A and B are shown apart, each in its own frame.
Chain A
Amino acid sequence: MGLTTARYWREVPQRYRMEAGECTACGEIHFPPRRICMKCGKQKFETVVLPDTGKVITWTVIRVAPDEFTDLSPYAVCLVELENGVRLMSQLVDVDLDEIEMGLPVKIEFRRIREDGADGVLFYGYKVVPA
């Protein structure tokens, strides 16, 4: 996709450090951070670090993958609800694909997302594993 280093670098606080934005007015936490609070519309936030545990809300096993992920196929992806209620999308790894279920407790780990390919960047970020 030709992902430039600048585009990658901009997301590093979220992908490497799990930084989210907490609205100082209503306390709603946004991941990724936003300029405007989805709940109350205010525009002032504090940076908070997300908890690293949660549970699977829904999941699938991808068997037809985009070019960059063909080597990993089949692989699981899931929607995770963290302990503070914040949700995020992630790969679910180090798991038997037949044993994934709703509510599975998971933990966030820092992993390589994909090889550099033609883009010249090594892609890192969060994945979840069974807790």
Chain B
Amino acid sequence: MRDVAVIGVGLSAWGEVWKQSLRDLITEAAVNAVDDAGVEKLDAMFIGCMSGGLFAGQEHIGALAADYLGMGPIPATRTESACASAGTAFRTGLMAVASGYHDVVLAGGVEKMTDVDGGATTRALAAAADQEYEAYHGVTFPGLYAMMAVAHMAKYGTTREQLAMVAVKNHRNGAMNPHGQSPFEVTLEQVLTATRVADPLRILDCSPVTDGAAAAILCPLDMVSRFTKSQAIRVTGSGQATDTIALHQRKDICAIESAALAAKVAYDMAGVGPGDIDFAEVHDCFTIAEIMVTEALGFCEQGQGGKAVEAGETALDGRIPINTSGGLKSKGHPVGATGIAQIHEIVTQLRGNAGGRQVKDAKRGLAQNMGGTGASSTVHILEVI
């Protein structure tokens, strides 16, 4: 296998982007990434998209993206793993380059979520759950994570306030990210009194509905000297794992095993452990998700994720800063794009371009992307060359 580097990253407009369509968004992100990398042509594209069909009535996203980027007739393929769709696009692109099949590959992700109303959005997102044995009974995605939260609180003593502290922390980071959807701070009181969604989760525990796209350009490490426009970042670890689609068949509903398994593969590949990671972007689709993933990635003991955020260990100036971008919570969560947007933040930090939210001496970052209630997870480790 060849070593692989990221030589360019790009984002589209991000938020409620009424003026731009699905194809506009992925094209904008791809153009920005191609420009950042300084490449003339691509050999292949992999585009994550969770539900172009339900959100925009549009499938066949690979061909659409290549067409509007003016890169046809190169091979272009869509990847789908619910909210981990872009994480799997990145991993697929990585494997394509590492294997020698392709040299310069674009891995991207896109979701256009605001062209449908709230009920249709809830239903489209619920399609990542077990349709016949979860969604059929009226269980929503916030509802599934709420049930994980109730169980985690009962088993480990995680508190309602600790959940809120995740939102407060991520909004504090996000307020320093000019590209975020909700770049403002929230108080503990605001989170604790926000509109109830699925008990104990309130609206400020939930990531928002977002339009957006992200892209990254990958090439073999030994070719980076040909592309000197921006600083290249090495990808040293990659892992992916699955778990049961339905929550009721999990061995332990208080742990996200797919994230732990994907992390183990990525750590082993990179030859590092959790203590060697300088900062991480994790899938905080709900506040409880960040707490559980912090544990799964080995940044704290199982069950101690709530205490870790309360102690400030995951804050920007803490032992292991988590979601420096603001996370899905503040930056926004276009479901099929999020995994690459996380890579964008890791690269931005490793290049030292993160402005007010810059992690000091950031040399190695980790991105964890997740689909469903953890039925899919990807983990990637990136390092300064």
Contacts and interface: CB of A to CB of B under 8 A. Distances in A.
A32 B246 CA distance: 11
Contact of B123 (A67, A89, A91): A67
B123 A1 contact: yes
Contacts of B146: 60
A68 B253 contact: no
B73 interface: no
Nearest to A87: B248
10 tightest CB-CB pairs across the interface, nearest first?
Answer: A67-B119, A60-B146, A69-B138, A58-B151, A87-B248, A61-B199, A58-B147, A60-B198, A58-B150, A63-B196
A70 B118 CA distance: 12
Interface residues of A, number: 34
A91 B137 CA distance: 6
Contacts of B151: 57-58, 79
Interface in B224-272: 244, 246-249, 253
Given A60-B146, A60-B201, A87-B248, 10 more contacts: A32-B132, A57-B151, A57-B253, A60-B143, A61-B196, A61-B198, A64-B140, A66-B140, A102-B150, A125-B137
B248 A89 contact: yes
20 contacts: A11-B132, A38-B244, A38-B249, A57-B151, A58-B147, A58-B253, A60-B199, A61-B196, A62-B138, A62-B198, A64-B197, A66-B122, A67-B120, A67-B122, A70-B119, A77-B137, A79-B151, A89-B133, A90-B137, A125-B136
Nearest to B120: A67
Interface of A: 1, 11, 32, 38, 57-70, 72, 75, 77-79, 87-91, 102, 113-114, 123, 125, 127
B118 to A, nearest CB: 8
B285 to A, nearest CB: 15
A66 B198 contact: no
A119 to B, nearest CB: 12
Given A32-B133, A67-B123, A125-B136, A62 B253 contact: no
Interface of B: 118-120, 122-123, 126, 132-140, 142-143, 146-148, 150-151, 154, 196-201, 244, 246-249, 253
A65 B140 contact: yes
A60 B198 CA distance: 6
Contacts of B249: 38, 87
A70 B138 CA distance: 9
Contact of A60 (B133, B147, B244): B147
A81 to B, nearest CB: 9
B140 A88 contact: no
A77 B143 contact: yes
Contacts of B246: 89
Contacts of B147: 58-60, 77-79
A108 to B, nearest CB: 12
A128 to B, nearest CB: 10
A62 B143 contact: yes
Nearest to A123: B136
A63 B123 contact: no
Contacts of A68: 138
Contacts of A89: 133-134, 137, 139, 246-248
Contacts of A70: 119
Contacts of B247: 79, 89
A9 to B, nearest CB: 12
Nearest to B54: A1
B150 A60 contact: yes
